[in-house]
Amino acid sequence: MEDKHMLMIPGPTPVPEKVLIALGKHPIGHRSGDFSKIIAEINQNLKWLHQTKNEVLSLNVSGTGAMEAGMINFLSPGDRVLVGVNGKFGDRWAQICEVFGLKTERITSDWGTPLDTEEFRNLLEADSNKEIKAVVITHSETSAGVLNDLETINKHVKAHGEALIIVDAVTSLGAYNLPIDDLGLDVVASGSQKGYMIPPGLGFICVNDKAWKAYETSKFPRFYMDLGKYKKANAKDSTPFTPPINLMFGLQTALQMMQREGLENIFARHARLTQASRVAAKAMGLSLLAPDNAASTAVTAIKTDDAEAIRSTMRKKYDIALAGGQDHLKGKIFRIGHLGWVSDRDLLTTISCLEATLTELGHDFDAKAGVKAAAAALA
C-alpha cells in the first residue's frame, strides 16, 4: 500500500507528523531575530536532554562528523588514545584516529560482546607518565546491539586524571539515562536521525570545561569543524555558518515533544521496548547477539542464517524495514530498531509480522509465542 512504509531500523528513525509539518514550513532568515529565538530555545532544551549545564553545539554533520570534530578539537597529532572496538562504529572511530595521526590502541572484543572494562583500567593505571590523552568509547554499539559499560570505564578515566573521555552516544542519547554532568563526561557526540526523531543532517557535541582547556592546546588544523566558532556563536544564540533552517524547525518541535513526554518516561519506554523485543525473539526460537545484561536500548540484533530472507519478506510483504548485519555479520543477523518515535503498537505490529514471516520461511516455533511474550513484557 502506498505511503505505509514502516521504519524499524536504528536510524534514520520514524519522524512524528508534528515534526514533518514543522520541517515543511517556509524558511526564514538564519540571521533574523526570530530565528535567534528558536536557537535559544533549542539550546536550552538540548541542555535538558543532555542533563548538562555545559555547551551543546549543533553542527551540520552526521554523527560521524560530530565524532570527528570531538577528536580533532581536543587532541594533537601523535597523542596516545585508547579506542574501544566491538562493532562497526568503534572500528570507525579508531580509523579516524589513525587517519589523523593519533597513536591509536584498540581495546577489542567480539561484536555483540561488551568491552572488558578491566583492560581499560590496566592500561590507564600503568600510564604513570600520563601519555594517554583520550579514551574513545561507543556507548551503544548499533552494529551489534550491545551497550558498553560506559559508567565503569569513565571511572577508570577519571582516576587517570589526564585523559579525556570522548563518547559516541549517537544511539544512546535520548534512549538511555545518560546524566552527562553527574558522570563528568568530557565530550559527548550524537546525531539527529536517532533519538531526536528528526531526519539526518545535524550532529550534536556536548563539551565540558576540561575539554575546552584541552582545546586551547590542540594542534589539529580545522576551520568548518572548529568548535570554538560554534561556542562563540552559541553564546549569541546564533551559528557560525548557515544552518539547516528547516531541520532546526523540526528539532524545536521534537524537543518540545520530548519534554512533554519527560525524560523518565522516554527512558522507560525504550527499556520496555528492548525487553519486549528480546523476549519475543527468544519465544520464537531465535538467538540474540548481545547478552541481556548489555542490551542496547536502541536496537536488538538477532542471529539467524536466513537474515536476508527475513528482511526481504518483511519489506516486500509487510513494508516494514529491518536493519541487516554489517561487515562479517552481513547475512548472519537482522536488527530491530526501537529508537526514537517508536511505540508499543509499532513493536507489536513488527513482532506479529515477523512471526508470519518466520512461518512462511519454515521456522518451527509455537504460533503467536512472540506476540504473547512481547505483550506480556509491554504490560
Residue 312 lies in domain: 6-12+263-378
Specify the pLDDT at position 274. 98
Residues 250 and 274 placed together within one structural domain of the fold: no
Residues 224 and 78 placed together within one structural domain of the fold: yes
Residues 187 and 282 placed together within one structural domain of the fold: no
Comparing C-alpha atoms, which of 116, 77, 73 is closest to residue 99?
Answer: 77
- The verdict on residue 209 lying in a domain is yes
User: pLDDT tens for residues 226-260?
Assistant: 999 999 999 999 999 999 999 999 999 999 999 99
In sequence order, what DSSP letters do the residues of 41-81 get, joined into one string? Answer: HHHHHHHHHHT-SSEEEEESS-HHHHHHHHHHTT--TT-EE
Q: Into how many domains does the chain fold?
A: 2
Under DSSP, is residue 333 helix (H, G, I), strand (E, B) or coil? strand
- The verdict on residue 1 lying in a domain is no
pLDDT along the chain (379 residues), means of 10: 93 98 98 98 98 97 98 98 98 98 98 98 98 98 98 98 98 98 98 98 98 98 98 97 98 98 98 98 98 98 98 98 98 98 98 98 95 97
Residues 56 and 187 placed together within one structural domain of the fold: yes
Specify the pLDDT at position 9. 98
* Cα separation, 94 vs 115, whole angstroms: 15
Residues 44 and 95 placed together within one structural domain of the fold: yes
Specify the pLDDT at position 2. 87
What are all long-range contacts of 187-191, with beta carbons under 8 Å and residues at least 24 apart?
A: 187/70, 187/74, 187/211, 188/50, 188/70, 189/63, 189/66, 189/67, 189/69, 189/70, 190/63, 190/66, 191/11, 191/62, 191/63, 191/66
Statement: the pTM of the whole predicted model exceeds 0.95: yes
- The verdict on residue 248 lying in a domain is yes
Cell for 93?
Answer: 572511530
CATH classification of the domain holding 289: 3.90.1150.10
Specify the pLDDT at position 5. 96
Between CA 333 and CA 190, with CA 63 as vertex, the angle to 5 degrees is: 100
Specify the DSSP element, H or E, that contains 173.
none
Cell for 260?
Answer: 512533554
Neighbours of 224 (CB within 10 A): 12
Residues 87 and 143 placed together within one structural domain of the fold: yes
**Nearest 5°: phi and psi at 7?**
-85, 120
Contact by Cβ (8 Å): 122, 105: no
In sequence order, what DSSP letters do the residues of 109-150 get, joined into one string? Answer: --TTS---HHHHHHHHHH-TT--EEEEEEESEETTTTEE--H
- The verdict on residue 146 lying in a domain is yes
Specify the pLDDT at position 182. 98
- The verdict on residue 185 lying in a domain is yes
Residues 294 and 252 placed together within one structural domain of the fold: no
Specify the pLDDT at position 192. 98
Domain boundary among 222, 237, 259: 259
As a whole number of Å, the end-to-end CA separation of the chain is 31
Residues 238 and 277 placed together within one structural domain of the fold: no
Between CA 309 and CA 314, with CA 310 as vertex, the angle to 5 degrees is: 115
CATH classification of the domain holding 30: 3.40.640.10
Specify the pLDDT at position 41. 98
Residues 125 and 226 placed together within one structural domain of the fold: yes
Residue whose C-alpha cell reads 582547556 in the numeric block:
213
Under DSSP, is residue 157 helix (H, G, I), strand (E, B) or coil? helix
Specify the pLDDT at position 368. 93
Alpha helices (runs of H) in the chain, residue ranges in sequence order: 17-23, 33-50, 63-72, 88-99, 117-126, 150-160, 180-183, 209-215, 227-235, 245-261, 263-283, 307-318, 344-360, 369-378
Residues 269 and 239 placed together within one structural domain of the fold: no
Residues 271 and 198 placed together within one structural domain of the fold: no
Residues 128 and 41 placed together within one structural domain of the fold: yes
Specify the pLDDT at position 269. 98
Strand-strand pairing, 187-191 and 164-168? parallel
Domain boundary among 259, 280, 299: 259
Domain boundary among 229, 259, 289: 259
Angle between the N-to-C axes of helices 263-283 and 369-378, in degrees from 0 to 180, rounded to the nearest 10 = 160
Contact by Cβ (8 Å): 139, 165: no
